[in-house]
A and B are shown apart, each in its own frame.
Chain A
Amino acid sequence: MTTPIISVSDASVSFDDTRALDGFSLDVPVGALVALVGPSGCGKTTALRAIAGFQDLDAGTVSIRGETMVSDKINVPPEKRRVGMVFQEYALFPHISVAENVGYGVRGSDRVRRVAEVLDLVGLAEYGSRFPNELSGGEQQRVALARALAPEPDVVLLDEPFSNLDAPQRERMRRELKHIIRAARVTAVLVTHDQSEALAIADIVAVMRSGRIAQVGAPPDVYRSPVDPWVAGFLGDAVMFDSTVVEGVIETPIGDLDSDVPSGTDVQVMVRPEWIRPVQSPTASACVTDTEFYGHDQRAEITLADGSVIEAMVPSIDAIKVGDTVTLTLLDAVVFDRKEPAGLA
């Protein structure tokens, strides 16, 4: 792999008595769209601001394009980092027009052409003479993106880019954003607290917890193989069972798993609801006690023989209804060591 375009290592930042970043490290490969995702307060915005240069680090280094931006001795100011940034509230300049906003960071003679080009890219070619307060939320969002892209940075940072949009707009913008970023051939890092958004948009998802990275990987990988129960739970619905390995077999209420984990290890088994396949069987002991039909799929609440309740996501083509008795098949499962959750894969 080539050298990462952004590389942060061991970054730490404290505010008063809380640590916003605590040994944060992240490498972003050229051309990737990385989603930095984590619960609120995990430090993801701080990390983004540190990369952009708005947040000074207590310790750690940042380099961009192989050049050191932050170290013990160096601290390149934001305006010298050539990093585009889209702010959560867009931070459009209210006193100048859309075209002037977009052209703000462009220097040189082909400014007009470049402004037209980027506005065209974000689909707002006709909007140049308007003022920010005359735009809808989605339009403001696109102007903010256009403004960040206009100086032709090779890196763009986006802070909660969709948080101010309503649900339908959000989904459309998400696709558009991906398209625009691809078209502009830039590396992008976006911050979000919404794991489904992160999984949907990113090439690489970086999950953050308490000021550091918990896991980095392609969306399917982090979703399917979370490093610990916390990441598993954060990235999606998870059904958890505690169990113990007995001679290569892990017993769970919904079936046994083969395992090469040494006997006697206390483990936690994580199963995604859609990895559970209920099949109608009159003799089975598990029983469907509730369903919700979504269209593309359906959720089934299943009460097991021991009285515990689990959830399964079932393709909508499967006929399933309340009162059915079912046998359960596990399509996949992840096993964690209960003592050292991250130690097992």
Chain B
Amino acid sequence: MTQARSAVEFDPVVPHGDNGIVRSRGRQAKAPWWLWLGALALVGPLLLAIGSLFLRVFDATPAAWDTLFSTRTLGLVWRSFALTATVTATACVLGVGGAWVLARTDIGFRRGWGVLIALPLVIPSYVLAMVIISATGATGLIADLTGYTFPSISGFVGSWIALSLSTYPYVYLITSAALTRVDPTLEDAARGLGATRTRVFRTVVLPQLRPAIGAGALLAALYTLSDFGAVSLMRFDTFTRAIYAQYSGRIDRSPAILLSIVLILLAAVIITAEWRTRGRGSIFTSSPSRSASRVRLSRAGRSLWTAGLAALVAVGTVVPIAVLGGWVLQGLANDVEFVIPWNAVVGSITGATLAAIVAMAFTIPTVVLIVRHQSKRTEVLEKSIFALFSLPHITIAIAVVAFTVTWLRPVYQSLGVLVAVYAAMFLAQSVSSAKSSLMAIDPTVDDASRSLGRGRFQTLWRVQLPLMRTGLLAGGALVFVTTLKELPVTLLLSPPGFSTLAVRTWAAADELLYTRAATAALILVAMSVIPVYFLSIRRRESVGS
């Protein structure tokens, strides 16, 4: 009959429990129109251009449908898929392994390794392929130097190696940045509970890195899907190679357009798959209170990891640069005229710098929209941006030529359009980089700014922008580097007289002028070293100042 109650029994109070839940669900504030305008101003026209190209399926010839429904198409889908899957898996292993050993162990020469293993990012995949082909085989560089005949590499294996090298830096760079945000106390807690180091990595570290690895893997997968240079030199038939063949071998455009649509669907499957596997865990990670203590490697472990890093750097960086250098020297020995293509140097720097700046500028509203005003519509926007990254560049180029000639004739073949297309097609890279920065920031700082009388725009400019600065700049650096490598869009959309180092490399190599090709390629690599250095050291910075 008698009850004695206390408040605590009455209703268990979890310390500041309700706020997280209510806040994250109550966050779906309506986005202001100008954010949408900012996010769509760049990719919108490109999506329209591609959409209007795709509308031509309705004029598709019977031959085009025959091409699409031939048994070959299924083979192409399978080969593209198999290559994408193996390359992505390899990129994840190499990228995560490299990121972990450099961020979390006491292995020596870390800063140097950090830059070196990111470097393959800047070597165009067709140059990598060219180098691999010329280094291997009976008369290859390896055989010349060592006398040992390294089997010549081509086809699936060759494409797999070249593209894995080209793409693992995406996973490495994004995972490295994320590793600094993983709170080491969780690892200590797990080890305190008796977990081995391997188990801690598998059960605590890896799940926390999942969003970062996923973002890197998605970029790697879509890059592989869109690649033409490596697979064509390696003679491995993929969708993109078939699309190029249809473009160049036909007057009728519709077969290529049909195949491009199938490729977009393939990309959509990959993008959706990555979306689905994103955990339901927390998205807001705060910067950890202390930095992680480094794992002390055993003598054997140190040798093993060092050997692994050395092998990676040798294959991905040293051999390509050595081969390129060898070509230059060989040409000089045979009195081939040595020319530095200044016009192309200026073109590369101008195009890539402008593309990076434009991409960063449009990344800001896009990321704020995606992270702070998440909705079905922003998901569509984000997926479209990634789909653009997966399209063969020739499809984008043809679409933009047709679109600008029809609707934007005064700016046709202007530097402005070229830069805008670069920025839009590579926006996925800066978006995924800046997104992780903004997601790490407690959204109440936005509220704080607004409660202090600053509007959304001022909040964007004075709070969100500075806070995602590092991620944004890293994204800009990625765009810079990929723009430097770009070929088909540059060829078709650039103003007459405009040239880049990638164009020079390709054109000279096509004419077997290896000295010139190698000169241009080496300058290209040298130019990318600064942004790559920046990319690989930024993980040392924390979000706070």
Query: In the complex, A touching B, CB below 8 Å?
Result: yes
A40-B13, A88-B19, A95-B467 known; A105 and B453 CB under 8 Å? yes
B22 surroundings in chain A (CB, below 8 A): 15, 20, 43, 45-46
Q: Which of B57-88 contact A (CB under 8 A)?
A: none
Q: Which of the 9-residue segments A2-10, A171-179, A230-238, A318-326 touches chain B?
A: A230-238
Interface residues of B in 237-270 (CB under 8 A from A): none
| Cα-based distance from A20 to B37 in the complex (angstroms) | 33
- The answer, yes or no, to whether A94 is at the interface (CB within 8 Å) is yes
Taking CB atoms and an 8 Å cut-off, the chain B residues in 367-410 that contact chain A are none
Q: Which of B17, B26, B447, B463 contacts A87 (CB 8 A)?
A: B447
A16 to B6, CA, bound (A): 32
Asked if A239 and B4 sit within 8 Å, CB to CB, the answer is yes
- The answer to the question of B111 belonging to the interface, with a C-beta cut-off of 8 Å to chain A, is no
B256-306 CB contacts (< 8 Å) to partner A: 287
Inter-subunit contact B7/A45 (CB<8 Å) = no
Shortest Cβ gap from A120 to chain B (Å) = 19
Decide: A78 and B447 in contact? CB cutoff 8 A: yes
B545 interface residue (CB < 8 Å to A): yes
Q: Which of A82, A83, A85, A311 contacts B4 (CB 8 A)?
A: A311
Q: Is B333 an interface residue (CB 8 A)?
A: no
Does B145 sit at the interface, judged by CB under 8 A? no
B511 contacts A by Cβ under 8 Å? no
With A49-B26, A94-B545, A233-B5 as contacts: A79 and B19 at CB distance below 8 Å: no
Contact between chains at B7 and A53 (CB < 8 Å): no
Q: Within 8 Å of chain A (Cβ to Cβ): is B497?
A: no
Distance A49 CA – B451 CA, assembled complex (angstroms):
10
Beta-carbon contact of B26 and A55 below 8 Å: yes
Closest to A196 in B: B7
- Contacts of A52 on B, CB cut-off 8 Å? 447, 451
Q: Are B4 and A151 in contact (CB under 8 A)?
A: no
Give Cα A82 to B452, complex, Å. 7
- Distance A80 CA – B447 CA, assembled complex (angstroms): 13
Q: Write out, one digit per residue, whether chain A residues 286-298 have a CB within 8 A of any chain B CB (1) or not (0).
A: 0000000000000
Q: Report if A40-B455 is in contact (Cβ < 8 Å); known contacts: A237-B4, A304-B2.
A: no
> Which of B2, B5, B13, B451 contacts A78 (CB under 8 A)?
B451
Is A203's CB within 8 Å of the partner chain B? no
Q: Closest chain A residue to B9 by CB distance?
A: A233
Determine the main DSSP class of A at the interface with B. Answer: loop
B512 on interface, CB distance cutoff 8 Å = no
Chain B positions within 8 Å of A31 at CB level: none
Task: Report the Cα distance A224→B13, complex, angstroms.
Answer: 23
- Please determine whether A95 and B545 come into contact, CB atoms closer than 8 angstroms: yes
Closest residue of chain A to B444 (Cβ to Cβ) is: A91
Chain B residues with Cβ under 8 A from A148's Cβ? 451-452
Asked if B454 and A308 sit within 8 Å, CB to CB, the answer is no
Q: Please tell me which one of the listed residues B3, B466, B469, B544 contacts residue A131 in the complex, with CB atoms under 8 A apart.
A: B544
In angstroms, Cα B543 to Cα A95, docked, is 8
Q: Which residues on the A side are within 8 Å of B442 (C-beta)?
A: 89, 91
Whole-angstrom CA separation of A240 from B444 in the bound complex: 42
Q: Is B339 an interface residue (CB 8 A)?
A: no
Chain B nearest Cβ from A262, distance in angstroms = 22
B113 to chain A, nearest CB (A): 29
Q: Complex: how many Å from CA A163 to CA B18?
A: 12
CB contacts (< 8 Å) of A230 on chain B: these are 10
Distance between A189 CB and nearest chain B CB, rounded to angstroms: 13
Residues of B near A308 (CB, < 8 A) are: 1-2
CA distance A46 to B22 in the complex (A): 7
CA distance A202 to B442 in the complex (A): 29
CB distance from B300 to the nearest CB of A (A): 39
B448 within 8 Å of A by Cβ?
Answer: yes
Chain A residues with CB below 8 A from B23, complex form: 45, 49
Please give, as numbers and ranges, the residues of chain B lying within 8 Å of A212 by CB-CB distance.
Answer: none
- Say whether B2 contacts A160, CB under 8 Å: no
Contact with A along B437-474 (1 / 0, CB 8 A): 00000101101111111111000001100110100000
Tell me if A278 counts as interface (CB < 8 A to partner B): no
**B193 within 8 Å of A (CB atoms):** no
Interface centre among B14, B25, B29, B451 (most CB of A within 10 A): B451
Q: CB-CB < 8 A to A54: which residues of B?
A: 26, 29, 447, 450-451
Q: Which of B7, B448, B545 contacts A237 (CB 8 A)?
A: B7
In the complex, are the beta carbons of A233 and B7 less than 8 A apart?
Answer: yes
Q: How far does the alpha carbon of A46 sit from the alpha carbon of B16 in the complex, in Å? A: 13
The answer to whether A240 and B453 have CB atoms under 8 Å apart is: no
Determine whether the beta carbon of B448 is less than 8 Å from that of A93: yes
Kindly state whether residue A117 has any CB partner on chain B within 8 Å: no
**Do the beta carbons of B1 and A79 come within 8 Å of each other?**
no
CA distance A309 to B3 in the complex (A): 8
User: Which parts of A41-98 form the interface with B (CB within 8 Å)?
Assistant: 41-46, 49, 52-56, 77-85, 87-89, 91-96
Q: Is the CB of B451 within 8 A of A40?
A: no
Q: B residues within 8 Å of A by Cβ?
A: 1-7, 10-11, 13-19, 21-23, 25-26, 29, 287, 442, 444-445, 447-456, 462-463, 466-467, 469, 543-545
Q: A83-B451, A150-B452 are in contact. List 10 more A-B contacts (CB 8 A).
A: A39-B13, A40-B11, A52-B451, A79-B450, A88-B16, A91-B447, A93-B463, A160-B16, A234-B11, A304-B2
Give 27 CB contacts A-B under 8 Å. A15-B22, A45-B18, A46-B26, A53-B451, A54-B26, A77-B450, A77-B455, A78-B450, A84-B451, A85-B451, A91-B445, A92-B448, A93-B449, A93-B467, A94-B445, A94-B467, A104-B449, A105-B451, A132-B544, A148-B451, A159-B19, A163-B15, A193-B16, A233-B10, A234-B10, A239-B2, A253-B2
Residues of A at the B interface (CB closer than 8 Å) are 13, 15-16, 20, 39-46, 49, 52-56, 77-85, 87-89, 91-96, 104-105, 107, 131-133, 147-148, 150-151, 157, 159-160, 163-164, 193-195, 230, 233-242, 253, 304, 306, 308-311
Shortest beta-carbon contacts, A-B, top 6: A105-B452, A308-B2, A85-B451, A91-B444, A39-B11, A91-B448
